[in-house]
């Protein structure tokens, strides 16, 4: 691992290959032999997707792409992954026996709306930006269960929208540079608009708690063409090697420039003075607060040395990417924002007031034991069980989530979702080549088993790691220690039993399972407000998601040609069952239990870590 928890994405060591790009002086394309280190990033965009699925999912993917591009001193996104957890779909005319309607708040859309619009938004952004989406997952869950907190509603009215991916970065650009005093502070990308106000704050509340107008105002809008223009500028910059004009770069996300610019100068050990009216804007009627805080997408903030500004200007003009110099770095760790329209200082304060260390949080929590009832199997026939399980979206065929985007763009896709002559979407992992001239590559895979947390928090977390490992094992990686994990944690903080359960799950993975396997988790994200409240007639209801851990596994691949798939061959072979469950055959919180509206009492688990490692080896 070359970079972890200090930048917009994590970086691990890649292979030495020929990266294909043009020489700045001659314009001639050629292969440049150098290490292509690997970026890893996975984040979520849950709240906006619940309010407006297409732009919510699109800006989720777009924000993750920007995180990759804004790593170090500039990097290149390559391939993406997408995931969704939602409540029951209840397709009109095709409702399933386990899909009871428990109601929902008026301001959020239905699970069916999310799954008809959200995947299209994510796919459209990846497609229009020029990045293939090669991996994903889809889960539905919504039920009244007898769990840790007694009988209650558990499901994904507040959905999970997962956006992640891999990219490449030059060795000498992994670490950010030093911001010199007087360096120009630049906003690269589209103009400010009165959209996406308060998104970071709105996403941190239980859905239904905030004002409806604030919820709708918090959703951003996507513009993948603008982001691609910006990425082309970043590409031209990193291709210059030592002459890269980018000293420091961050993407603009939650909080807009009010978050991005202070973060930029603070991380570079500087202060900054800014002019509000130099910010490009499409809405001159916006207030100073709206100009400084809006979350208009497709923007990056950069520090560029003053003497390299002409070169940066030339690159931006070539790509027709808008930019504005809005300030300069100062020696004093102070933030000042001048507004020449009103001739005043809307912001004038020491940086540590804004970014100083916040006090540690203390939580008084209680450990609760799950009260699951044993699975009742009487009356269940094999034929009916198979039919129901195959109709559960988590298990069912997922071509509709795959064929909505170009999976071959870049020319470096070695393994996408579709397998065999009938193109069935059952690949275990996604694999890309590291370059156009080699068989080295990168792989990524996903694991998650959230409903199990309703019975056993730690088992659910261990199963997520186990599934990610057994999925990524389908390609040639080598030692298990080469695999790096991203952990995305979703929980309803403050809900009875969930805080202690989160601690239990984190401990199980971070202090026990992963160290025993020799694995590290250099990147991740949390979303701690996975609850929805609303009024249903005279009754106040709430829908709380199960504690959900989504593990994404990433690794360097030694030879992309040695990737296997579930496609069976009938010639001279045998089909082996390797039972990592050690004969327990636990049915708690399985698809079978779900389709018969049960939870069960005993879930599957990673019962023998040495056996799991032995299977991989």
Give the pLDDT band of residue 272 (cuts 50, 70, 90): very high
Instruction: Please state, in angstroms and as integers, the Cα–Cα distance from residue 311 to each residue in 72, 126, 246, 314, following that order.
Output: 20, 29, 11, 5
Question: What's the confidence (pLDDT) of residue 569?
Answer: 83
Q: Which residues contact 554 (CB under 8 A, 6 or more apart)?
A: 12, 38, 40, 166, 442, 443, 444, 483, 484, 485, 486
CATH 3.90.650.10 range(s) for the chain read 176-355
Of residues 135, 162, 165, 160, the one with CA closest to residue 10: 165
Query: How many other CB atoms are there within 10 angstroms of residue 290's CB atom?
Result: 17
Nearest C-alpha neighbor of 555 from the set 566, 547, 563: 563
Pairwise CA distance, residues 346 & 336, whole Å: 8
Q: Which residues contact 252 (CB under 8 A, 6 or more apart)?
A: 66, 187, 189, 259, 260, 295, 296, 297, 299, 300, 301
| pLDDT reported for residue 11 | 98
Residue 3 DSSP one-character state: B
Q: What is the pLDDT of residues 425-469, one digit of tens each?
A: 999 999 999 999 999 999 999 999 999 999 999 999 999 999 999
d(CA 320, CA 188): 11
Q: How far is CA 141 from CA 270, 484, 554, 593, in A?
A: 48, 28, 27, 11
As to burial, measured by CB atoms within 10 angstroms (0-12 exposed, 13-18 middle, 19+ buried), residue 74 is buried
**Residue 185: per-residue pLDDT:** 98
Domain with CATH 3.30.1330.10 in the chain: 10-172+374-533+541-568
For residues 325 and 304, give the distance between their C-alpha atoms in angstroms, rounded to a whole number. Answer: 9
Q: Output Rg (C-alpha) for the chain, integer angstroms.
A: 25
Which pLDDT score, from 0 to 100, does residue 216 have? 63
19 Cβ neighbours under 8 A, 6+ residues apart: 31, 32, 34, 36, 168, 435
DSSP state of 588: B
CA atoms 165, 166, 167, 170: torsion sign: positive
Fold of 176-355: Phosphoribosyl-aminoimidazole Synthetase; Chain A, domain 2 (3.90.650)
Mind listing the pLDDT tens digit for each residue in 218-266? 677 889 999 999 999 999 999 999 999 999 999 998 899 999 999 999 9
For residue 206, name the pLDDT band (cuts at 50, 70, 90).
low
The per-residue pLDDT for range 48-101, each reduced to its tens digit, is 999 999 999 999 999 999 999 999 999 999 999 999 999 999 999 999 999 999
Bridge partners of residue 348, in order along the sequence: 336
Question: Encoding tokens for residue 339?
Answer: 């507004």
* Sheet with 142-147: strands ordered across: 142-147, 150-155, 539-544, 531-536
212, pLDDT greater than 90 = no
Determine the pLDDT at residue 75: 98
The tokens of 249 are what?
A: 């770069």
CATH number corresponding to 10-172+374-533+541-568: 3.30.1330.10
- For residue 228, the 8-state DSSP code is H
Per DSSP, the residues of 257-300 read HHHHHHHHHHHTT-EEEEEGGGS-BS-TT--HHHHHH---SSEE
What is the band of 537 on the pLDDT scale with cuts at 50, 70, 90?
confident
């Amino acid at each position: 691992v070359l970079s972890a928890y200090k930048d917009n994405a994590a970086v691990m060591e890649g292979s030495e290959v020929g990266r294909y790009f043009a020489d700045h002086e001659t314009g001639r394309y050629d292969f440049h032999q150098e290490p292509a280190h690997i970026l890893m990033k996975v984040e979520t965009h849950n709240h906006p997707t619940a309010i407006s699925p297409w732009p919510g999912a699109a800006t989720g993917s777009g924000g993750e792409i920007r995180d990759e591009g804004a790593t170090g001193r500039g990097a290149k996104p390559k391939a993406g992954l997408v995931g969704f957890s939602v409540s029951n779909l209840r397709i009109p005319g095709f409702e399933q026996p386990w899909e009871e309607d428990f109601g929902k708040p008026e301001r959020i859309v239905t699970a069916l709306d999310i799954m008809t619009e959200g995947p299209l938004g994510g796919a459209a952004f990846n497609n229009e930006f020029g990045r293939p989406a090669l991996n994903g997952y889809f889960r539905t869950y919504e039920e009244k269960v007898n769990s840790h907190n007694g009988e209650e509603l558990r499901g994904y009215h507040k959905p999970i929208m997962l956006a992640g991916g891999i990219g490449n970065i030059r060795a000498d650009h992994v670490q950010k540079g030093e911001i010199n005093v007087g360096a120009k502070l630049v906003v690269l990308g589209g103009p400010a608009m009165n959209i996406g106000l308060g998104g970071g704050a709105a996403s941190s509340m239980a859905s239904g708690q905030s004002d409806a107008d604030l919820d709708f105002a918090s959703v951003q809008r996507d513009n993948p063409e603008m982001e691609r223009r910006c990425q082309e500028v970043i590409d031209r910059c990193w291709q210059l090697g030592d002459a890269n004009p980018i000293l420091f770069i961050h993407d603009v996300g939650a909080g807009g420039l009010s978050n991005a610019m202070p973060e930029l100068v603070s991380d570079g050990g500087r202060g900054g003075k800014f002019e509000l009216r130099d910010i490009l804007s499409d809405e001159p009627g916006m207030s100073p607060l709206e100009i400084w805080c809006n979350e208009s997408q497709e923007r990056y903030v950069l520090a560029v040395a003053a003497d390299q500004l002409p070169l940066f200007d030339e690159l931006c003009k070539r790509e027709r990417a808008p930019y504005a110099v809005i300030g300069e770095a100062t020696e004093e760790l102070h933030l000042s924002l001048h507004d020449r329209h009103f001739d005043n200082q809307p912001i004038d304060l020491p940086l540590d007031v804004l970014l100083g260390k916040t006090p540690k949080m203390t939580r008084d929590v209680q450990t609760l034991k799950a009260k699951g009832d044993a699975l009742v199997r009487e009356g269940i026939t094999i034929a009916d069980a198979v039919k129901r399980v195959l109709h559960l979206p988590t298990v069912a065929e997922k071509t509709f989530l795959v064929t909505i985007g170009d999976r071959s763009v870049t020319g470096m896709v070695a393994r996408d979702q579709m397998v065999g002559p009938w193109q069935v979407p059952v690949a275990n992992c996604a694999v890309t080549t590291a370059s156009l001239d080699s068989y080295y590559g990168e792989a990524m895979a996903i694991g998650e088993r959230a409903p199990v947390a309703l019975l056993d928090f730690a088992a659910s977390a261990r199963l997520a790691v186990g599934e990610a490992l057994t999925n990524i094992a389908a390609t040639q990686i080598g030692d298990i220690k080469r695999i790096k994990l991203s952990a995305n944690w979703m929980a309803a903080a403050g809900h009875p039993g969930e805080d202690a359960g989160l601690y239990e799950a984190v401990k199980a993975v971070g202090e026990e399972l992963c160290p025993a396997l020799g694995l590290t988790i250099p990147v991740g994200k949390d979303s701690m407000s996975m609850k929805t409240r609303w009024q249903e007639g005279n009754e106040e209801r709430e829908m709380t998601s199960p504690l959900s851990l989504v593990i994404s596994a990433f690794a360097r691949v030694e030879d992309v040609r040695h990737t296997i798939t579930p496609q069976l061959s009938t010639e001279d072979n045998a089909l082996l069952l390797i039972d990592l469950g050690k004969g327990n055959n636990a049915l708690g919180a399985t698809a079978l239990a779900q389709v018969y509206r049960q939870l069960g009492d005993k879930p599957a688990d990673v019962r023998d870590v040495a056996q799991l490692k032995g299977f991989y080896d």
